[in-house]
Structure 1
């Protein structure tokens, strides 16, 4: 009996270990206040997605193009983001003062905060001229 228990214990231990499969999508939601346009665009990784805002300025979308740099924009506003697979993000901003109110929270949002700060500093140095920095 003791030998059976010694044999079954490691087998049960190994059988109980489950690995969670990696998520191959990104969840992006948020609210844009005072938006003149109800259509925003998310571009990056060789694709462009139109994100439609609801009447109250909220949106939600699932992105399947993978980890990388993205630009969330409309004709008047822009936010540079770095999103990772499996991440869940919430983007909030007031379109009346987009550059100063845009905020991204969620998984690894520090990378996006760094990217937004870097882009804003580059724009200040160039006198407001923005070149395409997203590859």
Structure 2
């Protein structure tokens, strides 16, 4: 049996966004539904950055996709500025436990922000929208 791979998105790869990478993700996966993990969400610029903090009282909301294969991850890694040298990466792709709308925990790949957040505005409600 083929292993299933899930990806959790909380920013510009979500369905509300129209860009080549979001379209490619939709073609390369099945949309499972909404989900969240405990952490903090920041507005970086026109895109967000999330930190996974298991004990945080705040959620980061987004969408869960079941990937047809791992091939798409190479392109998404490029889009998210994931580098071989982790210290130079804008994001790191990590497996995080994500709760779906039925509160079922699914292990998902997530692109977590990998730069300082001290000067970034916190998105308190944990939902990234196109406009601040």
Q: TM-score range by the shorter chain?
A: under 0.3
Greater C-alpha Rg:
1
TM-score scaled by length of structure 1: 0.26
TM-score scaled by length of structure 2: 0.26
Structure with more relative contact order (C-alpha pairs < 8 Å, separation 6 or more): 2
